[in-house]
Chain A
Amino acid sequence: MQDTNKFKLGLFVTISLFVFIAAVLSMGVFDSLFKSRAHMATFVEESVQGLNSGSAVKFRGVPIGSISDITIIMESRTVRIDMEIDLSKFKTTLGKNIFTTPSIPAPEFYKYLHSEIDKGLCCRIEPDGITGIKYIEMDFFKDVDARHAGPEFQPGLRNGIFFMPSTPSLMSSLRFNMTEILANIATIDFRKISEETISLLERANKTLNDPRLDNLLNDAETILKKASETVETLNGTLTPEKLDLTLAELDKTIRSIRLLSDGLEKTLATSKIPQTTASIRELSDSFSTGDSSIKMTILKLNEALDAMTDLIQYINDNPSSVLHGKGRAKQ
Chain B
Amino acid sequence: MTQNAISVKNLTAGYGRRIVLENISFDVPPGQILTILGGSGCGKSTLLKHMIGLRTPFAGDILLHGKSIVSSTGNRKRAIMRRFGVAYQGGALFRSLSLAENIALPMEEHTKMSKEEIREKVREKLRLVNLDGYQDCMPSDLSGGMVKRAAFARSLALDPDILFFDEPSAGLDPLSSASLDRLILDIREKTAATIVVVTHELESIFTIADRAVMLDADTKSIIADGPPLELKKHSANPFVRLFLNAGRDPAAHLHEGSIHAGYQ
A contact set with B: CB distance below 8 Å: 1-2
Contact = CB atoms under 8 A, between A and B. Distances in A.
Nearest to B97: A1
5 contacts: A1-B96, A1-B97, A1-B98, A1-B101, A2-B96
Contacts of A2: 96
A103 B96 CA distance: 61
Contacts of B98: 1
A137 B39 CA distance: 91
A69 B101 CA distance: 60
A3 to B, nearest CB: 11
A117 to B, nearest CB: 73
Nearest to B101: A1
Interface of B: 96-98, 101
B124 to A, nearest CB: 22
Provide the main secondary structure of the chain B interface: loop
A117 B157 CA distance: 86
Contacts of A1: 96-98, 101
Contacts of B101: 1
Give the 5 A-B residue pairs with the shortest CB-CB distance, closest first. Answer: A1-B96, A1-B97, A2-B96, A1-B101, A1-B98
A250 B96 CA distance: 149
A1 B96 CA distance: 4
A299 B98 CA distance: 136
A2 B139 CA distance: 12
Contacts of B96: 1-2
Nearest to A2: B96
B150 to A, nearest CB: 16
B178 to A, nearest CB: 34
Contacts of B97: 1
A2 B141 CA distance: 13
A2 B96 CA distance: 6
A2 B101 CA distance: 12
A2 B140 CA distance: 12
Nearest to B96: A1
A208 B88 CA distance: 110
A1 to B, nearest CB: 5
A2 B98 CA distance: 9
A167 B101 CA distance: 77
B140 to A, nearest CB: 11
A2 B95 CA distance: 10
Nearest to B98: A1
A16 to B, nearest CB: 25
A140 B239 CA distance: 111
B154 to A, nearest CB: 16
A2 to B, nearest CB: 7
A1 B101 CA distance: 9
A146 to B, nearest CB: 75
B105 to A, nearest CB: 11
Nearest to B94: A1
A83 to B, nearest CB: 59
A206 B256 CA distance: 116
A107 B101 CA distance: 70
